[in-house]
Structure 1
């Protein structure tokens, strides 16, 4: 029997719309299994890699819980603003960036922690970032998730997340094939507001940009809808919601910003997601006899080392696994442990989801990252390229929103 439009709407909102878990019982077996995986993973990483890697694994779990309980979707935030002028998600991101700026600044200025150097993500501004973020914007609307969203949707039980992830891996590898060509396209040297204006000046300038986006989105929302949605929790706060959800946008922003700063402290670089996808795909390609090391991307020292070392020595891989398990834990706590429903989706939706993943994977490689590694970490690091990513990602999302109905994907505004 064909899937109706109303069924599609229900399928889209099912695992992502996470209402209060207080009306459902905690699914103890699932929670126990997930906690056991965290314990086993922590011990394994402690013995085979390092204490730092083991702690990062647990931090990633907290990030996964935060993404799930706060329904922290970059994709939906962009789409809601484009379709209906609802900007709560974008305003929450600006709050998150400001918190991250306040945490990142002293860390970046100090330069070293725990015996290793620490630096933010500050990359060139140019054609590759704009083109990559534009592709990513289209891809995340077709894939119905961004990079972080793909991880927490997969852990939360959305079977499409697995297909998006496969597309992400394919696209990431393809992006490494002609990475060198994209790096030769017109661009400016990296621009750091802190280096350009000093510590205080850089912080104030970035804060001004954040405030502009915050108040512009509020003004547009007021004009189009007559009111402005709050980014705070509408229901009374209780200790129970910490574990079972839902969380407010503000709570999610705080957890993600603090988590990103913790990753920066411990690993020496901000939180990223998609470089691991490229590495996974490259290892698969090597197993198939493809000599990926001849490609320029894999001749750069950090990327070459990621192929040489063990899989669990890669920080981003450990973070990605931890986020998936963290969202799985959150789903169990909310009484919504995954029950995949892959076969209920129309073929055209599945095709769009895969293509969306490919576009995001390719775009992330040439734009120096995804919505986390380039957009979040870039702005948190006071880099102009993070703001360029916002422009390209929004423009791409406009195109993606226009294509979504063709793929049986609804543009219904989600609260």
Structure 2
């Protein structure tokens, strides 16, 4: 699999020569080191460790080109399921790691809890919006961060409107929460750890087998998995990494997040926080909105973002991806973006932000971490987000003259 395209619409060499860390990479590394020092001294060692975990996520996401948008698109359009099967591996490893401590409520002597949310109209609508936004915006939540950090100028536009969409959703949040919903359901709590793992693995297996059947039916053969380890040592620095290695690494780093933060990896709550702080700076009063009446959210709105776990990890993802892109010699932003592509980024970003808030998370917080937490809402999110992707695939030709492929193949 070809690695990353640093410039939209251009072809990147399959195996670029290894380059020294350029100015963007040096700047990102300096910011990362400064951030570690600040957090360790002014906040806590745990917060500094979470910044480091975030940067590791950025490196893995970039080098493995691991996303969700392209994997789903290829399944919908081409009936190629390698990306979706990698996601099933990701989830399988995660549930095996997560369910025992979540069932007991502790990990390494510290309390932990998963992302378990209600199943209702807001999840169905929000997941569908998010899925549509994935195809128009060009990426998911994790993909938007690591591609923006990797130098993709178009994804910066998506990120800005992702934040705006998140803020808009917080204004309407109480209305969405008033709509019908079922109580949260946690598999580890209702079935026990072992039974929950068995059921989850069986479902992952069924999905993986279905992708194999559909792919073989369409093409007569199945794409090779690409192995688990890079083909030579130089690829550890410049990439690409095999997709399966990315899946394993992301599952382990999410487990590290659970151990350090007491809850799984999330992304989009920070976008709502950043947007609310920005709104406050220009005269709005987000503290009066129902979303921010929750005690925990109200506290995060008053504190600096260096105290917010999700914000710190998001910044780490961007910096880690920037370092990885510089080491690979691929950090080269291109600001010549067609107007229709800009329009798609704006619309997609708004849908991503709005959908994620009302659906209790994105492809990470609701899908990856939600299913890893044993929450049934994560499975509902997956179904309706996939449906949104199906519509998004059909709408893309209006915005892109040629068949659109995201700047990063995995996203």
Superposition TM-score, scaled by structure 2 size: 0.93
Give the stretch that moved more between structures: 285-294 or 199-208.
Answer: 285-294
Equivalent of 2:291 in 274, 294, 297? 297
Question: Distance in 2 between the 1:66 and 1:269 partners?
Answer: 20
Aligned to 1:364: 356
1:348 CA displacement: 1.3
- Residues 18 and 51 of structure 1: CA distance in aligned 2, closer, same or farther (over 3 Å): farther
The question of 1:401 aligning with 2:393 is answered yes
The question of 1:20 aligning with 2:15 is answered yes
Aligned to 2:272: 278
8 A contact 2:18–2:327 mirrored in 1: no
Q: When the two structures are aligned, how many residues end up with a matched partner?
A: 403
Measured against aligned partners, the alpha-carbon deviations of 1:267-310 in whole angstroms (never above 9, x if no partner) come to 11111111011001111111222121222110112211110111
Give the stretch that moved more between structures: 323-332 or 181-190.
Answer: 181-190
Aligned to 1:288: 282
Question: Distance in 1 between the 2:41 and 2:165 partners?
Answer: 33
The question of 1:196 aligning with 2:187 is answered no
Measured against aligned partners, the alpha-carbon deviations of 1:68-88 in whole angstroms (never above 9, x if no partner) come to 001112111111111111111
Aligned to 1:46: 40
- Residues 345 and 311 of structure 1: CA distance in aligned 2, closer, same or farther (over 3 Å): same
Give the stretch that moved more between structures: 178-187 or 155-164.
Answer: 178-187
1:206 CA displacement: 0.7
Aligned to 1:262: 256
Question: Distance in 2 between the 1:43 and 1:235 partners?
Answer: 33
The question of 1:244 aligning with 2:244 is answered no
8 A contact 1:221–1:227 mirrored in 2: yes
Question: Distance in 2 between the 1:349 and 1:396 partners?
Answer: 19
8 A contact 1:99–1:257 mirrored in 2: yes
What does 1:9-408 correspond to in 2, within 5 Å? 11-12=7-8, 14=10, 19-21=14-16, 23-113=17-107, 116-233=110-227, 237-336=231-330, 338-342=331-335, 344-408=336-400
- Residues 202 and 13 of structure 1: CA distance in aligned 2, closer, same or farther (over 3 Å): farther
SS in 2 for 1:239: coil
8 A contact 2:6–2:332 mirrored in 1: no
Aligned to 1:6: none
Measured against aligned partners, the alpha-carbon deviations of 1:125-178 in whole angstroms (never above 9, x if no partner) come to 121111101000111100001100000110111101110011011100001011
Question: Distance in 2 between the 1:346 and 1:412 partners?
Answer: 12
Measured against aligned partners, the alpha-carbon deviations of 1:94-116 in whole angstroms (never above 9, x if no partner) come to 00011111111232134234775
- Residues 302 and 114 of structure 1: CA distance in aligned 2, closer, same or farther (over 3 Å): farther
1:65 CA displacement: 0.5
8 A contact 1:156–1:327 mirrored in 2: yes
RMSD: 2.0
Superposition TM-score, scaled by structure 1 size: 0.92
8 A contact 2:123–2:381 mirrored in 1: yes
Question: Distance in 2 between the 1:329 and 1:289 partners?
Answer: 36
Structure 1: stretches of 5+ with no match in the other structure: 1-8
8 A contact 2:366–2:381 mirrored in 1: yes
SS in 2 for 1:271: coil
8 A contact 2:229–2:241 mirrored in 1: no
8 A contact 1:241–1:247 mirrored in 2: yes
1:120 CA displacement: 0.7
Structure 2: stretches of 5+ with no match in the other structure: none
8 A contact 1:140–1:146 mirrored in 2: yes
1:11 CA displacement: 4.8
- Residues 118 and 86 of structure 1: CA distance in aligned 2, closer, same or farther (over 3 Å): same
